[in-house]
Amino acid sequence: MSDSLFADASKRLERAMKYISISEDALEYLKYPKSSLIVSIPVRMDNGALRIFPGYRVRYDDTRGPGKGGVRYHPNVSLDEVTSLAFWMTFKCAVLDLPFGGAKGGVTVNPKELSKLELERLTRGYIEAIADFIGPDIDIPAPDVYTNPMVMGWMMDQYNIIKRSLNPAVVTGKPITLGGSVGRNTATGTGAYFTIETLMRKFDRQPHETTVAVQGFGNAGAVVAELLAKTGYKVVAVSDSKGGIYAKKGLDIPSIRHYKESNKGIQAIYCEDSVCNIVEHEIISNEELLALEVDLLIPAALENQITAANVKDIKAKYIFEVANGPISADADADLEARGIYVVPDILVNAGGVTVSYFEWVQNRSGLYWSVEEVNQRLQQKMIKETEKIWQLAEEFDIPMRTAAYVHGLNRLGEALSAKGTRDYYVNG
């Protein structure tokens, strides 16, 4: 277990422990997930064959409220990965002061190999298997890698069929017409943008003088890339799972988004003549993108993209983790030693769970907000917690990652201690 993703994720707590006072009871609680579920999902394929897919749901901690976390469909999904993601979600919700604990789910599958009907059967089968493990007051799933509003709509519908009642708050990230919140689909990228803008001002960085590379041009990466480009940042490289493109003069991000949405890729061509001006560009790999000499690097794909094996190649001045766990713990020290400023995932990508919280509140109240109100509330949340973590980093002279864990641990420790600790029972 020592070389597992979860063990790697847990290392981040060790440094934070030096800067907080937290009960031994609270630390003991946080060593282990509260509950883990492994299921087998039988799916009848279009050709009549039967396939079994492994599925998982982990609720790491629910001291501060119901579990909250996405469901990902990916070939590499495992219990270790889902446990790590649930662990990160626990701290993410605490960092943003949301009334949730941390949870995560997933299915080991390559969704690109399934038809839409097979994907629906898989999704409904997953909910059949975990229906007693989730609920609006227990654990609330949301979108993640290769899951989207349509998938979340199937999940909600299947849960309602099983429970014979209407429960829109059982999942978030649903289609608007099924009770979803406006602004949820772009929330992760938008929240990341608010954090980046807040901190870049503190570094006296002017947008037009700042070059950006974004690894992962999915929902979150594409949104933050476009928002930065509109503000004047020079986005010079983007990539998806098939590869990427680089143009020293900068890329036309809206046109690339249009092309990717129409053609499901960005590697083969820069964009269409009808929607943008062609500029000279290079086709690059994801590994080459990470090693570009840019000011701002945004890993927005999967975990463990920057490790001890390639950390020496990193030349960016600032890294903002839009993906979950894109930098392994053993790479942190090298980046810090070279003065590369890293802003952690548990802050940067928390916009998604924040607007999921807004959606949950709207579902339960029956009162729905405008996109302007959603984005305004999101901006206030992201800036407020970014400022608090920045202040902790300055006060203790520690990296932003450590400061974020200190911030989250303080809130988790207070909640766990409120249940009663050793000192309470021994000393009265």
Q: Which residues form the catalytic set?
A: 104
Strand pairing category for 282-284 and 211-215: unpaired
The rounded radius of gyration (Å) of the Cα atoms in the chain is: 21
State the Cα–Cα distance between residues 230 and 168, nearest whole angstrom: 35
Give the Cα-Cα-Cα angle 145, 149, 152 (nearest 5 degrees): 85
In the chain, the amino acid numbered 280 is E
For the chain, the maximum distance between any two Cα atoms, rounded to a whole number of angstroms, is: 75
Give the Cα-Cα-Cα angle 281, 348, 233 (nearest 5 degrees): 35
Cβ distance 396 to 10 under 8 Å? Answer: no
Mutual orientation of helices 5-16 and 79-95 as an angle, nearest 10°?
A: 30
State the Cα–Cα distance between residues 199 and 319, nearest whole angstrom: 11
Cβ distance 407 to 385 under 8 Å? Answer: yes
Q: Which residue has the tokens 């000499």?
A: 293
Cα dihedral 353→355→359→360 (10° resolution) = 40
Q: Which residue has the tokens 């609006």?
A: 136
Assigned token pair, 273: 């003549």
Which is nearest to 159 in space by CA: 119, 116, 125?
125
State the Cα–Cα distance between residues 51 and 244, nearest whole angstrom: 34
State the Cα–Cα distance between residues 401 and 92, nearest whole angstrom: 12
Assigned token pair, 358: 């807004």
Cβ distance 231 to 196 under 8 Å? Answer: no
- Tell which phi-psi region holds residue 164, choosing left (phi > 0), alpha (psi between -120 and 50) or beta: left
